[in-house]
């Protein structure tokens, strides 16, 4: 069922507008975005569709097979339901000068949530896109991404970076986004023509807002403060030796080494070097497991299973502490690796092949 069909059957009305936003998988460059560093996401085919109809009272009435039925009043307090995303989107769209009363909203999603594939950004961006279509507001992809990020910060409570929202607003399927999070400069690359990325869900999820994410953000900003630099983007490996606190040192070392890996990975995409890309992915996973400490047994098992089945590289993707891994395989080996991982890790599931 599409979001339009859901809207029509639930509200017995036609929606005024509909828009979609895809989930993303980050190929390399994790937790670097809120340190003003580099990231390399690409879209996954799974997406969220939103259909909206305007109301002439101040009620927000929502229906989604995945997130449930919910209602509230415009301007009411946040209550932890998915309508908080809607309240946030309306709040910021109103700031562009449009007048919004209540809305009816239907949402359809096939992005598994809590798995590091950015269902949250896709939801806020799809809602924003639907609203700006209705009101004919013109907003650039980068501005739209910033609004999405503000919804996370001010309405959801996750101090996320800008990667997910920028991937959602700036990419087409099949494109890879190199994003410099300091100035939002972008460069688009193509995927390897001879290799696939498998996205595999470990089956264990952990919500971002649980605090670990915000804690990593605090630790890395402490490191930057200690080094007296605006962000770890500007740190060099040598400088890090000045940091005495072992934990803060390890967090900072991940960011500096990960930024360096993203930059190296661009040459791999540009000059078709999948083997080297795979090695960078492996090093990235090790750094996330040992220095950033955001991996889990399930994620490590998946990475090891993929590697032992012949993958060129494998790493956890997204915020970590659960969720998905991304695996680089040659096209001819892709089915073999996927089925071997499924056998070795029966609780895992293949989300998509890109
Ligand atoms: C989440 C956040 C992003 C980014 C990743 C980790 O997806 O929303 O901003 O920090 O985690 O790379």
Q: pLDDT tens digits for 165-200?
A: 999 999 999 999 999 999 999 999 999 999 999 999
- Residue 210: what pLDDT? 63
Q: Which token pair is 220?
A: 């890395």
Residue-wise burial string across 277-300, b where 16 or more C-beta atoms lie within 10 A, e elsewhere: bbbbbbbbbbbbbebbebbbebbb
- Residue 79: what pLDDT? 87
| Pick from 210-214, 293-297, 319-323: least confident | 210-214
Regarding the beta carbon of 33 and ligand 1, being less than 6 Å apart is answered yes
Give the Cα separation of 159 and 170 in Å (integer): 21
Nearest atom, ligand 1, residue 158 CA: 8
Nearest atom, ligand 1, residue 33 CA: 10
Give the Cα separation of 290 and 81 in Å (integer): 35
Which residue among 23, 24, 31 is best mutated to probe the pocket of ligand 1, counting the most ligand atoms within 8 A of its Cβ?
Answer: 31
Query: What structural domains and CATH numbers belong to the chain?
Result: 3-189 (3.30.230.10), 195-353 (3.30.70.890)
**Of residues 326, 345, 246, the one with CA closest to residue 285:** 326
Regarding the beta carbon of 323 and ligand 1, being less than 6 Å apart is answered no
Q: How far is the CA of 95 from the centre of ligand 1 (A)?
A: 26
State what percent of residues in the chain have pLDDT above 70. Answer: 99
Q: Which token pair is 98?
A: 């449009």
Regarding the beta carbon of 164 and ligand 1, being less than 6 Å apart is answered yes
Q: How far is the CA of 328 from the centre of ligand 1 (A)?
A: 20
**Of residues 302, 279, 293, 310, the one with CA closest to residue 200:** 302
What residue's CA is closest to ligand 1, atom 8? 160
Give the Cα separation of 93 and 86 in Å (integer): 10
Q: Which candidate in 33, 56, 57, 164 is catalytic?
A: 164
Which residue among 120, 151, 161, 233 is best mutated to probe the pocket of ligand 1, counting the most ligand atoms within 8 A of its Cβ?
Answer: 161
292: Cα separation from own chain's centroid? 18
Mean pLDDT calculated for residue range 51-62: 97
Q: Is the pLDDT of residue 264 over 70?
A: yes
Average pLDDT value over all residues in the chain: 96
| Pick from 133-142, 154-163, 209-218: least confident | 209-218
Give 353's strand partners. 198
Q: Is the pLDDT of residue 207 over 70?
A: no
Which residue among 24, 33, 41 is best mutated to probe the pocket of ligand 1, counting the most ligand atoms within 8 A of its Cβ?
Answer: 33
Catalytic site includes residue 164: yes
| Pairing relationship of beta strands 349-353 and 195-201 according to DSSP bridges | antiparallel
Regarding the beta carbon of 160 and ligand 1, being less than 6 Å apart is answered yes
Regarding the beta carbon of 31 and ligand 1, being less than 6 Å apart is answered yes
pTM for this prediction = 0.96
What residue's CA is closest to ligand 1, atom 10? 31
130: Cα separation from own chain's centroid? 20
Q: How far is the CA of 319 from the centre of ligand 1 (A)?
A: 5
Q: How far is the CA of 122 from the centre of ligand 1 (A)?
A: 13
Q: Which residue has the tokens 């190199």?
A: 178
Give the chain as a 3 state SS string. Answer: CCHHHHHHHHHCCCCCEEEEEEEEEECCCCCCHHHCCEECEEEEEEEEEEEEEECCCCEEEEEECCCCCEEEECCCCCCCCCHHHHHHHHHHHHCCCCCCCCEEEEEEECCCCCCCCCHHHHHHHHHHHHHHHHHCCCCCHHHHHHHHHHHHHHHHCCCCCCHHHHHHHHCCCCEEEEEECCCCEEEEEECCCCEEEEEEECCCCCCHHHCHHHHHHHHHHHHHHHHCCCCHHHCCHHHHCCCCCHHHHHHHHHHHHHHHHHHHHHHHHHCCCHHHHHHHHHHHHHHHHHCCCCCCHHHHHHHHHHHHCCCCEEEEECCCCCCEEEEEEEHHHHHHHHHHHHHHCCCCEEEEEC
Regarding the beta carbon of 30 and ligand 1, being less than 6 Å apart is answered yes
């Amino acid at each position: 069922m599409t979001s339009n069909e859901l809207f029509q059957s639930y509200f017995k009305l036609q929606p005024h507008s509909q828009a979609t936003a895809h989930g993303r998988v980050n190929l390399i460059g994790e937790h670097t975005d809120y340190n003003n560093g580099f990231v390399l996401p690409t879209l996954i085919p799974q997406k969220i569709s939103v259909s909206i109809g305007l109301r002439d009272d101040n009620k927000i009435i929502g229906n989604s097979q995945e997130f449930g039925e919910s209602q509230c009043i415009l301007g009411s307090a946040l209550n932890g339901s998915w309508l908080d995303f809607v309240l946030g989107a309306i709040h910021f769209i109103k700031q562009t000068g449009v007048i919004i009363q209540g809305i009816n909203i239907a949402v359809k999603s096939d992005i598994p949530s809590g798995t590091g594939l950015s269902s949250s950004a896709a939801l806020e961006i799809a809602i924003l896109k639907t609203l700006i279509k209705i009101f004919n507001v013109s907003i650039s992809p980068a501005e739209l991404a910033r609004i999405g990020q503000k919804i996370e910060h001010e309405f959801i409570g996750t101090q996320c970076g800008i990667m997910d929202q920028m991937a959602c607003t700036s990419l087409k399927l099949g494109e890879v986004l190199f994003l410099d999070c300091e100035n939002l400069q972008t460069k688009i690359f193509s995927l390897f023509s001879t290799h696939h990325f498998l996205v595999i869900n470990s089956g264990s999820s952990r919500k971002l807002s649980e605090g670990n994410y915000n804690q990593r953000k605090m630790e890395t900003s402490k490191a930057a403060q200690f080094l007296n630099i605006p962000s770890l983007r500007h740190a060099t490996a040598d400088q890090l030796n000045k940091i005495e606190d072992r934990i803060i040192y390890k967090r900072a070392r991940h960011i500096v080494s990960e930024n360096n890996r993203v930059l190296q990975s661009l040459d791999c995409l540009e000059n078709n070097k999948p083997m080297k890309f795979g090695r960078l992915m492996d090093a990235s996973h090790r750094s996330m497991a040992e220095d950033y400490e955001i991996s889990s047994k399930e994620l490590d098992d998946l990475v090891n299973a993929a590697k032992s089945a012949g993958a060129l590289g494998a790493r956890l993707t997204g915020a970590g502490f659960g969720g998905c891994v991304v695996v680089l395989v040659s096209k001819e080996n892709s089915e073999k690796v996927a089925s071997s991982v499924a056998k070795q890790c029966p609780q895992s599931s293949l989300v998509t092949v890109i």
